[in-house]
Amino acid sequence: MSAIATCGKPTHDGVPEFSYPTLTGSNPPSSLELLGWSDFFAAQVEPGETELLVRRIASVHRARIDAIDVSGPVGIELPPNSNTADFAVGDWVLADPLTGMLVRRLDRKTVFQRRAEGGHGQQLAAANVDTLFIVTSCNADFNPGRLERYLIMANQAGTDPVIVLTKADTVEDAGPFEQQAKALQRDLPVVVLNARTADAVALLKPWCGVGQTVTLVGSSGVGKSTLVNTLAGPQSDTMQKTGSIRERDAKGRHTTTARSLHAIGGGGWVIDTPGIRTLYVSDVTDGIDTLFAEITDLAPNCRFRDCTHAHEPGCAVQAAVAKGELSADRLERWRSLLAENRDRTPVLSGPKGNKIVRKKKY
Ligand SMILES: Nc1nc2c(ncn2[C@@H]2O[C@H](COP(=O)(O)OP(=O)(O)OP(=O)(O)O)[C@@H](O)[C@H]2O)c(=O)[nH]1
Ligand SMILES: [Zn+2]
């Protein structure tokens, strides 16, 4: 395990170098707020813990985790028997000022996790992400069904989704893509851009301000790395060298392998999570409720509390379809995603093998 780093000097290979934003204005945020600290985390620090060091996890490896604090990258010691898999990039932790040993992790505001292969346990991808950029391009990659799954994932994690439509420069009219994306979820921001030009920075600025944390998902080749480099601005060379390491996978494709927290222009942070590829809908009822907010809102008006909106008399959702206020397609998508969620959400076994169904809402 690594020794504690001296302030500001990266000691491990692969620990990103950080450039801290210079602040102007009359009311600058505290140093920790530059890293994404907020009242949500401050409120968790007990009176007896105020002497402890506050650190944010920057990368998670099999045998060690790296962190940052207000001075830059720092190593962090894990107590014996702790498992690095219990930590996610973006986590906030408290450490002992004398030993540098991790004391505890603070509760997460948001978390991306997926069921590990084999169905046991959860794999953590990223924590305390404010915004998920769901990246797709104005071409054959554009797939509303897949975007819905990413939206459910963002909703379930408690993170605000933004659809980023790249390669707008390659089509005559990006309008139809934009319209389709906007229709996926109520009040969904959709940004159309060319990931290779600096305009992208201005368009994404509302989500990349001081202390804000974003992450990107999307298929291979849609422009995620391009976007991260554009957002990082002139420092992108340093970042590419020290942060997101591009390697060839078994099929000879270039893939981004490092999973870490990088400073981006404007004072925000981006977590590179190339791992979120094999997405499926599981245990995400709340995420589905948000995706289909217009259906969720109508449900309390149905005569039966457990209405399936299929055949019941007095169904407010069916009435909305009949009046043309809700598309039958949307209702069908809702039904099939819920069915998929139900099928894929494991049913826990109770004493004597009795089935315990978790959180079954419909
Ligand atoms: N014309 C145009 N090309 C783009 C745009 N965004 C990305 N590209 C190009 O598309 C190719 C793939 O972009 P990447 O950024 O590597 O895609 P990625 O999503 O990071 O791919 P993976 O690392 O495999 O997940 C590169 O050649 C980019 O230069 C865009 O907005 N317009
Ligand atoms: Zn109903």
**Are residues 257 and 124 part of one domain?**
yes
Six token digits for residue 192: 């159309």
Kindly indicate the confidence band of residue 270, based on its pLDDT and cuts at 50, 70 and 90. Answer: very high
Q: Which residues are annotated as a binding site?
A: 166-169, 218-226, 302, 307, 309, 315
Which of 222, 244, 245, 247 for a ligand 1 pocket mutation test, highest count of atoms within 8 Å of Cβ?
222
| Helix ranges restricted to H, 233-327 | 236-242, 285-291, 293-298, 316-322
End-to-end CA distance of the chain: 48
242 falls within a domain: yes
| Residue 123 pLDDT exceeds 60 | yes
225 falls within a domain: yes
Distance CA 112, CA 123 (A): 9
**Are residues 294 and 335 part of one domain?**
yes
Number of domains in the chain: 2
pLDDT at 283: 81
Kindly indicate the confidence band of residue 288, based on its pLDDT and cuts at 50, 70 and 90. Answer: very high
Using CA positions, which residue lies closest to atom 13 of ligand 1? 223
Evaluate whether 215 touches 244 at the Cβ level (below 8 Å).
no
Using CA positions, which residue lies closest to atom 25 of ligand 1? 220
**Are residues 250 and 308 part of one domain?**
no
pLDDT at 31: 87
Six token digits for residue 2: 């690594």
311 falls within a domain: yes
**Are residues 223 and 116 part of one domain?**
yes
**Are residues 253 and 171 part of one domain?**
yes
**What mean pLDDT comes out for the span 31-56?**
95
How do 213-217 and 131-137 pair as beta strands? parallel
pLDDT at 11: 37
Q: What is the mean pLDDT of the chain?
A: 81
Evaluate whether 274 touches 225 at the Cβ level (below 8 Å).
no
pLDDT at 324: 95
- Domain end among 242, 271, 300: 271
Instruction: Kindly provide the ipTM of the predicted complex, given to two decimals.
Output: 0.94
pLDDT at 120: 62
Q: What is the pLDDT of residues 126-162, one digit of tens each?
A: 899 999 999 999 998 999 999 999 999 999 989 999 9
pLDDT at 362: 41
pTM of the model: 0.81
Query: Within 13 Å and on the Cβ side, how many CA atoms surround 360?
Result: 14
42 falls within a domain: no
- Domain end among 212, 244, 271: 271
**What mean pLDDT comes out for the span 201-229?**
93
Q: Which ligand number lies closest to the CA of residue 216?
A: 1
Q: What's the gap in Å between 66 CA and the centre of ligand 2?
A: 50
- Domain end among 219, 247, 271: 271
Q: What's the gap in Å between 335 CA and the centre of ligand 2?
A: 12
Q: Which residue has the tokens 């400073």?
A: 263
CATH of the domain at 238: 3.40.50.300
Q: Cβ contacts of residue 224 below 8 Å, gap of 6+?
A: 135, 216, 217, 218, 256, 274
Pick from 179, 17, 192, 11: which is nearest to 100 by CA? Answer: 11
**What mean pLDDT comes out for the span 225-242?**
65
Distance CA 260, CA 245 (A): 10
**What mean pLDDT comes out for the span 293-312?**
94
Q: What's the gap in Å between 318 CA and the centre of ligand 1?
A: 43
Distance CA 296, CA 300 (A): 8
> Any residues with Cβ below 6 Å from ligand 1, and which?
166-167, 169-170, 194-196, 218, 220-226, 255-256, 274
CA torsion 245-246-250-251 (nearest 10°) is 160
Q: What's the gap in Å between 238 CA and the centre of ligand 2?
A: 55
- 3-class DSSP assignment, residue 13: coil
Using CA positions, which residue lies closest to atom 30 of ligand 1? 167
**Are residues 327 and 259 part of one domain?**
no
| Cα R_g (the chain), whole angstroms | 22
| Residue 256 pLDDT exceeds 80 | no
CATH of the domain at 316: 1.10.40.50
**Are residues 313 and 267 part of one domain?**
no
Q: Which residues are annotated as a binding site for Zn(2+)?
A: 302, 307, 309, 315
81 falls within a domain: no
Distance CA 66, CA 64 (A): 7
Q: Which of the two residues, 348 and 56, has the higher pLDDT score?
A: 56
**Are residues 309 and 243 part of one domain?**
no
Q: Which ligand number lies closest to the CA of residue 320?
A: 2
- 3-class DSSP assignment, residue 181: helix
Q: What's the gap in Å between 128 CA and the centre of ligand 1?
A: 26
Domain interval for residue 319: 285-356
347 falls within a domain: yes
78 falls within a domain: no
DSSP 299: G
**Are residues 229 and 337 part of one domain?**
no
192 falls within a domain: yes
Q: Which residues are registered as beta bridge partners of 54?
A: 94
pLDDT at 353: 43
**Are residues 257 and 116 part of one domain?**
yes
- Of 136-150, 187-201, 243-257, 302-316, the poorest mean pLDDT is in 243-257
**Are residues 178 and 258 part of one domain?**
yes
**Are residues 299 and 266 part of one domain?**
no
Q: What is the pLDDT of residues 308-341, one digit of tens each?
A: 999 899 999 999 999 999 999 999 999 999 998 8
Distance CA 284, CA 309 (A): 19
Using CA positions, which residue lies closest to atom 24 of ligand 1? 220
